[in-house]
Copies of this chain bind each other. A is one copy, B any other.
Amino acid sequence: MLPFDNMITLDQESSTPIFQQIAFSLSQLIREGKLARGSRLPGSRILAAQLGVHRKTIVAALEELEAQGWLETVASVGTFVSQKLPEIKVKSLGEATQIKTPKATPGYDFQADPQLQKPLISNHQGLRFDDGLPDVRLAPLDSLARYYRQRLLLGQKRQSLGYASTQGDWGLRQTLCNYLRESRGLCLNEDNIMITRGSIQAFHLASNCLLKPGSVVGVGEIGYFTGRLIFAQTGAQLQGLKIDKNGLDPNAVEDLCKKMPLRMLYLTPHHHYPTTVSMPAGRRLELLELARRYRFCILEDDYDFDFHYDSNPILPLSSEDNNGLTLYVGSFCKAISPALRLGYAVGPSEVIRAMSDLRRIVDRQGEQVFEAAFADFLKAGELRRHLKKAVKTYEKRRNTLAEMLKTELGDCLNFEIPTGGMAIWGQFDPGISLLDLAKKAAEQGMNINNGSNYHWQEKPLNAARLGFASINEAEMAQGIGVLSKLIKLS
């Protein structure tokens, strides 16, 4: 008989009951081939004596293993290792212990997509000029948390915390309809809008509904890198379009349409990403007219609509669209925090329906509790109040940063003061390598984008977005201090 007392070690301290420890050890012995298929186990009394446990404990363990299919009991004969198990050769201890190494490489052929491994824009808590992120310190998150709790408990009481609409919470859709009518002049009803987890999900769903391999997508050159990745993943063919001081050039679009069938045009008209330039009304109407004539979809990314300082926000193209040509995508990630993934897509109900249907196989549904809580937050006017305060603060910060940059780095940094948004587009003199500068700054614990995230050629731009929204005057001064010192040294 096998020396079970040597082969099975029990841990009296462990949270796992003894009978389970015994069951697991026995199944291990079977796995490792030390207990062969069909071999008979000693009686429960003998095992109990060997392992120094009560017989009931052994019986429980054996019943467990029988229920799991490891053992078979033949009445009044005994307990055997199941004949139904595949034959297992005794493994060397080496192999047996291998069972306990986490795996890096799969046991099947696998190739990762290098495109998706490019660095991400992430946020840094320390000294920084970020990509143009909000100052989360300003947001009324405490009251948002209160609404969340209320909705969670209400949902529990009503047993409504289950599978919900893939299109998003109906109450939030309804609230957003009013909000978007008033704030953006959009014309929509609840069927024209779906709630997404930020803009990225809206782009992903839209692309997978509208694009197929070979579809032509027009994107700004330069432009939003992640957007380009999303479109490219569908197998679409991307065409770069010229960006000037008024944003994307309609003539470039028309030339493209004459060459090939354009399926989708990606736009950030309010404040072009990354250059922050605004597109005037004239161009907007021209692009809509082109879309109507050549029957393509305009994917309008209005990521920072709320933050416009020199005039009220310019109404989106979608507010002029009377032909179902635009998909308007907005988000609260810039208004409150990128960590709270909440955005929406507005378009023809047929397309919104298809995007919602697609979602069932992407992540099934959004965060229904948070969505309902956010509707309460909107209805209570908390977002409006917050934005009013934030816009004032960010406008001041924009002006402050612009002044500081002019005085401290004016001789080596060129920029226009943006009419809105959350970042200044800073172009460094050829004499300065932003790539080196960012590297050196990082060594001093300061983060600044090195210009490699804004386009897709190999050579990085010598320009970066200098976010002013998330940092106060003192933090700006510190950051600029580091940069100017490094520049003088170089």
A160 contacts partner chain B, Cβ-Cβ < 8 Å: yes
**Cβ of A101: which chain B residues have Cβ within 8 Å of it?**
187, 322
Question: Is A99 on the interface with B (CB-CB < 8 A)?
Answer: yes
Neighbour of A187 across the interface among B100, B198, B341, B353, CB < 8 A: B100
Per-position 1/0 for A105-136, Cβ under 8 A of B: 11111101100110011110100000001001
A139, B263: Cα distance in complex, Å:
48
Residues 206-234 (chain A) with a chain B CB within 8 angstroms: 209-210, 226, 229-230, 233
Nearest chain B residue, comparing its CB with the CB of A201: B363
Which of A51-59, A344-352, A400-408 sits within the interface?
A344-352
A5 CB → nearest B CB, Å: 23
Kindly identify which residue among B158, B159, B292, B364 contacts A341, using a CB–CB cutoff of 8 Å: B364
Asked whether, in the complex, the Cβ of A286 is within 8 Å of the Cβ of B338, the reply is: no
Q: Most chain-B Cβ atoms within 10 A of its Cβ — which of A85, A142, A295? A: A85
Q: For A200, give its contact among B16, B103, B361 (CB under 8 Å).
A: B361
> Does A29 lie at the interface of the complex (its beta carbon under 8 Å from any beta carbon of B)?
no
CB distance from A300 to the nearest CB of B (A): 14
Which residue of B88, B149, B297, B365 contacts A148 across the interface (Cβ within 8 Å)?
B149
Q: Please tell me if A458 contacts chain B, counting CB pairs below 8 Å.
A: no
| A88 with B285, Cβ < 8 A, contacts A191-B102, A310-B67, A324-B103 known | yes
16 sample A-B contacts, Cβ–Cβ < 8 Å, listed by A number: A31-B320, A64-B311, A69-B283, A82-B282, A105-B324, A106-B351, A112-B350, A112-B353, A113-B209, A113-B357, A116-B357, A145-B153, A196-B363, A197-B363, A229-B360, A340-B369
Q: A107-B291, A125-B159 are in contact. List 14 more A-B contacts (CB 8 A).
A: A24-B185, A31-B320, A103-B323, A105-B348, A106-B297, A106-B348, A107-B292, A107-B295, A107-B324, A142-B153, A145-B152, A201-B362, A229-B361, A341-B363
